[in-house]
Chain A
Amino acid sequence: MQIDNFPQLASVAQIEQGFESFGYICSTKIATAVFLACQLRKPILVEGPPGVGKTELAKTTAQLLDLPLIRLQCYEGLDEAKALYEWKYGKQLLYTQVLKEKLGDLLKGAKGLAESVERLHQFGDIFYSEDFLEPRPLLKAMQQERGAILLIDEIDKSDYEFESLLLEILSDYQISIPEIGTIKARTSPMVFLTSNNTRDISDALKRRCLHLYIPFPSVELEERIVRSRVPDVDAQLRHQLVEFVHSLRQLDLKKSPAISETIDWARSLLLLHAGQLDEEMVRSTLNVLLKFEDDIEAADAELRALLQGGRPG
C-alpha cells in the first residue's frame, strides 16, 4: 500500500481546502509541496523562521489523513538507540537465564560436542529477533500498517552523524539492523523534516528531500489565519493588529514575532476586550509579541510611528 492513494491529497486545491477545514491556512506553495511529496513519495524539508507553522503543517497533515503522527525531536547527542531501535536488555538477560536452565533438557542424549552444537543450531536464533526489539520513533513509523506521518523536528539541532543515519530511511523507507537485516516500511510514511537554519544541512540530505521554505505570511494570508484561529476578533481590529505585527517585523529585532505570537496576541486582546489598538493597550501587551527585553525597548521607542504606519490611509 502506498500513501498516495488518499483522496484528500488528490490535487493541490483539494489539499488547500482540506487544510483550511482543520484551521490551517496555507499558501498554494505549501499545498503544492505536500501534493508533490505524496505523489513522488519524497520527504519534505521545511525551513523558515521559528513560529511560521512548520511543525503545525505535519500535525495538520496527520489530522487530514487521519494517520498517527510520530514525532522525533532532535537534539545534540541524539543517537540511533533513541531514534531507531534499542534492544530489550532486561528481557534478553532473562532469556539467557531461561536458556541456561533448559539447556540440559535440550541437549539430552546428544553425543559429543559436535552433535550438541548442531542441535543448538536447530533452534532459531531468537536472541536478536524482533521480539527483543524496542522500536523507537523512526522504526515505529516504518511499522505502522496504514502508514504514518513522521515528523523529524529541528533536524538542525542534531549532529552531522545523525543526518547520515537518516539517509537510508529517507530514500528507501527502510532500516538496516545489523543483527536482523533490513526492515522495510509496511507503508511508506510521509516524512516532514523541519529546520530553523541554525546550521547548514548536508547536501546528501537535501538532495533526498523536497525543499520548502516558509517565510512570514503576507498581510492578507495572516489575516485569514487569525480569522480561522481566533474567529471572535472583529475585522477592523484584526486588520490593525496584523498590520502592526508586520511593521514590527520590519524592525531590526532579535526575534521577530511569528504567526503563533500574532495569534496569542489576538487572543490576549480579545480577553482584554480591546475594540481597537491604542498605544496604552499595545504597550501593556507587547510582551506577548516580543520575547526579549531589548526588543521590547526598541519597539516601545517606535510605538507611535508603528501604530500610525499600521493604520490604513
Chain B
Amino acid sequence: MAIEVRIPTILRTHTGGNKTVSGSGATLGALVDDIDSQHPGIKGRLVTDEGKLHRFVNVYVNDEDVRFTGALDTELKDGDSVTILPAVAGG
C-alpha cells in the first residue's frame, strides 16, 4: 500500500529536499510513524507530545482537512494522497 505525501518547503530538510515522499499505513497516524522511520524528526513537526496534530499544520487526505475526518485516526486506502501544509496565520 503506497500513499503519496506532499511535503511543504519547511519540512523538506527532513526529506533531503524532496517535495513528495511515499509511505504506508491504515490510518494517518500509522502513516506518520512510517514516514518518520524513513525521515526521522518529521513526526515531531506534525504531532504534539500529547499525540495530537499541531495547531500550526494542516493535513489533508485527498481534498479533506483531517480535522473534520478524525485527525490522526483518519483511515487511509491505497492510492490516497496526503498533503501537509503549514497554516498561514498570525496576529
Q: Do A and B form a real pair?
A: no
Residues on B lying within 8 angstroms of A by beta carbon are: none
Chain A residues proximal to chain B, CB less than 8 Å = none
